[in-house]
Amino acid sequence: HDVQVALHTDGLNECLNVEDTLAVLDGRTIHAFHIEGCGGGHVPNVLRLAGVPNVLGSSTNPTLPFGRDALDEHYEMIFAAHGLNHHSHSDHHLVKDRIRGGTMGAEGVLHDLGVIGITSSDAQGMGRAGETVRRTFQLAARMKQAADTGPTRHDNERVRQYVAKLTINPAIAHGLAHEIGSLDVGKLADIVLWRPDHFGAKPQLVLKSGFPAYGVTGDPNATTDSCEPLVLGPQFGSFGATAADLSVAFVAGAAVEAGNDRMTTRRRRVTVKRTRGIGPRDLVMNDRL
């Protein structure tokens, strides 16, 4: 089936190590989630998957950008997320194996070089889903200051590279790019508008299929739209049947061909496509091997 797999590799190497995984893939396309490995994956060298022609790598956001307290934070995070025992020496060593400052630091450089092309997040287990945009651009700012990754380049080029990590590249990886991921004719007009001073934290307006769905709203009794309090909340596109009318349901092509659609939603069905035979070279502004 032409559906992408987000691979979370074996952190204990009980079944396979990283070279075994590459051998099993045998050139087939895969999306390697947690490619740095702090969130899980082959210890100690899952980062070996970065830059492999058939492996689409992505980072979850707790390790982005790598900072002063990253090692200590992740030590406690892993214990909590996996229900481990602080009094167990084996649990302690398992956690220490997953937290590697060297690969966490290298992850940011590989992003700036375009070797890792996607940023993403878990939730409640090594991820902060609401911070992906902010952390992606914190990484961009950090790399501008610190990374010696080539000739000096204009800020706009780096901005476009990091926007692609959040938008078009995940869409390409999962077979959705014909419908979402960029502002092009024929695609859904899913747009987030930000005030510059709130970028990555609080959107001003979210358009779903070109329709206001969420954003800043003032007091309906006010004489002007700038009267406070201004609050973020649902707008016209979020109410009633409108949300379903503005949205799509992505499905496998095999499911469409089989018919017998039992999904209890009025959303338009859209087939995912072209997830096989792609790799990092197909990503936008993040295609370095």
> For 102-112, how does the pLDDT look when each residue is reduced to its tens digit (9 = 90+)?
999 999 999 99
- Catalytic annotation, pick one of 8, 82, 92, 178: 82
Residues of the chain below pLDDT 50: none
Cβ 271 vs Cβ 251: under 8 Å: yes
pLDDT for 251 equals: 94
pLDDT of residue 40: 86
Res 23: pLDDT:
97
pLDDT (0 to 100) of residue 220: 84
Matching fold, domains 1-176 and 179-272: no
pTM for this model (two decimals): 0.92
Q: Which CATH number fits domain 179-272: 3.40.50.150, 3.10.20.90, 2.40.30.260, 2.30.40.10?
A: 2.30.40.10
User: Quick one: CA dihedral 5, 10, 14, 16, positive or negative?
Assistant: positive
CATH 3.20.20.140 is right for the domain spanning 1-176:
yes
213 closest CA partner among 194, 181, 239:
239
Domain boundaries, the chain: 1-176, 179-272
Residue 1 is among the residues annotated as catalytic for this protein: no
Residue 217 CB neighbours (<10 A): 16
Task: State residue 205's pLDDT score.
Answer: 97
